[in-house]
Chain A
Amino acid sequence: MSTPTTDIAAIGIPHAPAARAPRSQLTRERTRAAWLFLAPSLVVLLMVAGWPLGRSIFFSFTDASLETIGESTYNMVGLANYFGPYGVFNFAAVNGFWSTDWGMAIKNTFSFALVSVVLETFLGVVFALVLNAEFKGRSFVRAAVLVPWAIPTIVSAKMWAWIMHDQFGVMNALLRSAGIIDQNIAWTADPAFALWSVVLVDVWKTTPFMALLTLAALQMLPRDCYEAAHVDGIHPVKVFFKVTLPLIWPALMVAVIFRLLDALRVFDIIYVMTSNSVDTISMSGFVRREIVDNNYVGFGSAASTVLFLIIAACTLIYLKASRVDLGGEK
């Protein structure tokens, strides 16, 4: 004989995990309260992030221009902004896809992102190790290191553009007086140097950020491992690779992903410092150029949607590859 309750249990509600206890009145109230408290931020998030994102994805299927978006007089064009002769993926271009402006923008952005993030991570860890050591005036140095990060990118980019100016710049003056070069080098104009000059400035600016995040991780490390290593007389380099690095690895990987996402959508530093020719244009720069300069809101939106997808894909690949746990469940 079974009671009605066990009858239901016997039939089984397919999606309810069998082990879960029935929800109490209190739990349900708590859940409701949680949603209630979350609602305002969700609404704000939808308005400031969801709506614009949705709009630009929508515009990417239209032929909208800056004049017609206000009047709603644009037409739907399907996938024409993505594929075919007038799309971002024009595989039939005269010299192949990678010679199109968008192809070059992708190449430039990835070269910039990979090189700058690798350098910043390496230098950031070095700086953090130095700042973690005990020495006189440490707090002063820690504050001073942050200065480049505290200057707005536009300001520091303009500052460096002057430092690197081929005729008036202090960089050429120093290098020449030191006898390293005998002709002024056009750091931001010569295509051989332009992108790497930008990388240099980005490294200058962002290394403090990486150093700070790494330093935070270093300060959380347990002391006993080091005492044990000290007692056993392990070489400091070995201690770093066997103890320190594995322990700060998760934090470092999170810092790297922040930087990678940031670097993939780089715009301001390239826009201010270089000539903005296709030699150095970034994906974001391309999007701006198409929407603002050339007035193709539809086409530019398609490019920005692709940019969004590329960044999302990079994030997923990176998370899979480095097994970073952003959910905090492990």
Chain B
Amino acid sequence: MKPIYLKATAAAALMSLAAFGAHAGVTVTIACGTVGQDFDFCKKAGDEWSAKTGNTVKHLTIPQSTSDILGLFRQMFAAKSTDLDVLNVDVVWPGIIKDQLLDLTPYAKGAEKEHFPAIVANNTVGGKLLAMPWFTDAGVLYYRKDLLAKYGEKAPTTWAELTTTAKKVMDGERKAGNGDMQGFVFQAKAYEGLSCNALEWVSSFGGGAIVDASGKVTINNKHAAAALTTAAGWIGTIAPTGVLNYGEEDARGVFQKGNAVFMRNWPYAWSLSQGADSPIKGKVGVVALPKGGDGKTAATLGGWQLAVSKYSKHPKEAADLVMYLTSAGVQKDRAIRGSYNPTIPALYKDGGVLKANPFFGDLYDTFVGAVPRPATVTGVKYNEVSAAFWNATHEVLSGKTKAEDSLVKLEAKIDSIRRGPKW
């Protein structure tokens, strides 16, 4: 009994010493994503920063769905919570939470000029640099090289081609014994991800971007209706009905298990599909999303930024962590090992980055020319507009309403969200 007791006392004494030692630095709490490998990368980079500065990094685990994360942050901000110092900010949020973020201009010292100007502009509200670009995103089409070769097909360039190819390969594979084979998986759960997917369909059919730059609601048009009708035709044919409840990780689960011919997802899924434990390693290709009819290819602009909460007790250290995590060195490592798209144009010419992600070079124009969601024009009401859009789309996909009727209702709904002539 006695030696154990002594040991425990010694351990406790050591621990309190260690705790005392850690007091030299401050503790910075960061929330940085839980999708795919987000957490592991964030943990590693955070540890490196701790070792460099002597500060401690605490990780706050947040939900997977971006809509849920925004809800959580909003509640923390409303309570003026000091439990959160550094937070990840979706590309559509700067307008929504602009009053809760610290101006990073004095800490960036011009470092933002290395990044894509369009993203920096997106993160600058009222002359304040509210967030540093961390990684950018654009929807891309993943396909099974081996299966397309087996059936003598090419990667599709239009949605119509995708539909026929998916059907052909899916039917063939099912006959060959894989009853679980699906043609196409994407994100159609009623959340922000569905808005991203649907915007790609609508935009590629020439149906605009829901609300135009002047604030006019443009979604109720025949191109948009054609796009949604096309997508609704996939449910239950080439796509499982379950996509109506799929987020990014659900779609990746099906694809990476080898049970889908095509997948629409963000670039992060690439490095995971090439991991040692992936059944489809070396069998995956990535191309730009298909065109709609005689339209163009469209990828929704995604991506995440890092920002500092206005209520942080250690803004200086928090900003320093943000600058470290968004620096070229960390972005390069994340690009090579995690296929996170850098926000620094120079890294797209880097040999190591291109070797790990061959499609970064081919799809450079897709990443630079991605379609933004109407977040700037709708400002703080963006989330509500997006929710109206994803709910309307979800109803069309699930077969409850026809695209035309749903869009009439959606137009009225967005007009009522605006409350008056101006956003």
Q: Residues of A with Cβ closer than 8 Å to B?
A: 66-67, 69-70, 85-86, 94-95, 99, 101, 165-168, 184-186, 188-191, 274-279, 288-289, 292-295
- A190 pairs with B387, CB closer than 8 A: no
Select which of B257, B398, B408 is within 8 A of A94 by beta carbon. Answer: B408
Q: Which residue of B lies closest to A169 (CB)?
A: B242
- A188 pairs with B245, CB closer than 8 A: yes
Given contacts A191-B400, A278-B391, contact A167 B409 (CB under 8 A): no
Given contacts A85-B416, A167-B253, A167-B259, contact A186 B240 (CB under 8 A): yes
Question: Nearest chain B CB to A72's CB is how many angstroms away?
Answer: 13
Question: Nearest chain B CB to A219's CB is how many angstroms away?
Answer: 43
- A184 pairs with B240, CB closer than 8 A: yes
Question: B56 at the A/B interface (Cβ < 8 Å)?
Answer: no
Main secondary structure of the interface of A (DSSP, over half): loop
A69 to B191, CA, bound (A): 27
Question: Nearest chain B CB to A168's CB is how many angstroms away?
Answer: 7
Given A288-B71, A294-B384, 5 more A-B residue pairs with CB atoms under 8 Å apart are A86-B416, A99-B409, A167-B242, A167-B259, A275-B191
Q: Residues of B with Cβ closer than 8 Å to A?
A: 67, 70-71, 74-75, 77-78, 80, 99-100, 180, 182, 189-191, 240-246, 250, 253-254, 257, 259, 380, 383-384, 387, 390-391, 394-395, 398, 400, 408-409, 412, 416, 419
Q: Which residues of B contact A295 (CB under 8 A)?
A: 74, 380, 383
Select which of B74, B242, B380 is within 8 A of A292 by beta carbon. Answer: B74
Select which of B100, B242, B387, B395 is within 8 A of A165 by beta carbon. Answer: B242
A78 to B287, CA, bound (A): 54
A327 to B116, CA, bound (A): 69
A95 to B191, CA, bound (A): 24
- B398 pairs with A190, CB closer than 8 A: yes
- A279 pairs with B398, CB closer than 8 A: yes
Question: Nearest chain B CB to A327's CB is how many angstroms away?
Answer: 39
Q: Which residues of B contact A85 (CB under 8 A)?
A: 416
What 6 A-B pairs are tightest by C-beta distance, nearest first? Answer: A166-B242, A189-B245, A277-B190, A186-B242, A189-B244, A66-B78
- A167 pairs with B254, CB closer than 8 A: yes
Could you show 16 A-B contacts with beta carbons less than 8 Å apart? Answer: A165-B242, A167-B182, A186-B243, A189-B241, A189-B246, A191-B400, A275-B394, A277-B394, A277-B398, A278-B391, A278-B395, A279-B394, A292-B75, A293-B71, A293-B383, A295-B383
Q: Which residues of A contact B99 (CB under 8 A)?
A: 67
Q: Which residues of B contact A86 (CB under 8 A)?
A: 416, 419
Given contacts A67-B99, A86-B416, A275-B190, contact A292 B71 (CB under 8 A): yes
- Between A70, A189, A279, the greatest number of chain B beta carbons within 10 A of the residue's beta carbon is seen for A189
Question: Nearest chain A CB to B102's CB is how many angstroms away?
Answer: 16
Question: Nearest chain A CB to B419's CB is how many angstroms away?
Answer: 7
- A186 pairs with B245, CB closer than 8 A: yes
Q: Which residue of B lies closest to A176 (CB)?
A: B179
Question: Nearest chain B CB to A94's CB is how many angstroms away?
Answer: 5
Given contacts A168-B253, A185-B241, contact A94 B409 (CB under 8 A): yes
Q: Which residue of B lies closest to A193 (CB)?
A: B241
- A69 pairs with B78, CB closer than 8 A: yes
A274 to B391, CA, bound (A): 13
Question: Nearest chain A CB to B70's CB is how many angstroms away?
Answer: 7
A86 to B180, CA, bound (A): 46
Given contacts A274-B245, A294-B387, contact A66 B75 (CB under 8 A): yes
- B387 pairs with A275, CB closer than 8 A: no
Q: Which residue of A lies closest to B185 (CB)?
A: A167
Question: Nearest chain B CB to A87's CB is how many angstroms away?
Answer: 11
Question: Nearest chain B CB to A152's CB is how many angstroms away?
Answer: 17
- Between A86, A99, A166, A275, the greatest number of chain B beta carbons within 10 A of the residue's beta carbon is seen for A275
Q: Which residues of A contact B253 (CB under 8 A)?
A: 167-168
Q: Which residues of B contact A289 (CB under 8 A)?
A: 387
A187 to B161, CA, bound (A): 30
- Between B78, B99, B383, B390, the greatest number of chain A beta carbons within 10 A of the residue's beta carbon is seen for B78
Q: Which residues of A contact B100 (CB under 8 A)?
A: 67
- B409 pairs with A95, CB closer than 8 A: yes
Q: Which residues of A contact B390 (CB under 8 A)?
A: 277
A278 to B191, CA, bound (A): 11
Q: Which residues of B contact A95 (CB under 8 A)?
A: 409
Q: Which residues of B contact A276 (CB under 8 A)?
A: 189-191
Q: Which residues of B contact A277 (CB under 8 A)?
A: 190, 390-391, 394-395, 398
- B74 pairs with A186, CB closer than 8 A: no
- A293 pairs with B242, CB closer than 8 A: no
A165 to B387, CA, bound (A): 24
Q: Which residues of B contact A166 (CB under 8 A)?
A: 240-242, 245
- A189 pairs with B242, CB closer than 8 A: yes
Given contacts A67-B99, A292-B71, A293-B383, contact A275 B244 (CB under 8 A): yes
Q: Which residues of B contact A293 (CB under 8 A)?
A: 67, 70-71, 383-384, 387
A108 to B77, CA, bound (A): 32
Q: Which residues of A contact B384 (CB under 8 A)?
A: 293-294
- B189 pairs with A275, CB closer than 8 A: yes
Question: Nearest chain A CB to B189's CB is how many angstroms away?
Answer: 5
Q: Which residues of B contact A186 (CB under 8 A)?
A: 240-245
A101 to B412, CA, bound (A): 13
- A279 pairs with B78, CB closer than 8 A: no
A191 to B245, CA, bound (A): 10
- B245 pairs with A275, CB closer than 8 A: yes
- A191 pairs with B380, CB closer than 8 A: no
Select which of A66, A69, A279, A294 is within 8 A of B400 by beta carbon. Answer: A279
Q: Which residue of A lies closest to B417 (CB)?
A: A294
Q: Which residue of B lies closest to A296 (CB)?
A: B384
Q: Which residues of A contact B419 (CB under 8 A)?
A: 86
Q: Which residue of B lies closest to A67 (CB)?
A: B99
A73 to B100, CA, bound (A): 16
Q: Which residue of A lies closest to B240 (CB)?
A: A166
A69 to B245, CA, bound (A): 34
A123 to B390, CA, bound (A): 38
A277 to B70, CA, bound (A): 17
Q: Which residues of A contact B246 (CB under 8 A)?
A: 189
Given contacts A94-B408, A167-B254, A294-B384, contact A66 B190 (CB under 8 A): no
Question: Nearest chain A CB to B34's CB is how many angstroms away?
Answer: 14
A166 to B190, CA, bound (A): 16
Q: Which residues of B contact A278 (CB under 8 A)?
A: 190, 391, 394-395
Q: Which residues of B contact A191 (CB under 8 A)?
A: 244, 398, 400
Question: Nearest chain A CB to B182's CB is how many angstroms away?
Answer: 8
Question: Nearest chain B CB to A179's CB is how many angstroms away?
Answer: 13
Question: Nearest chain B CB to A196's CB is how many angstroms away?
Answer: 15
Q: Which residue of A lies closest to B72 (CB)?
A: A292
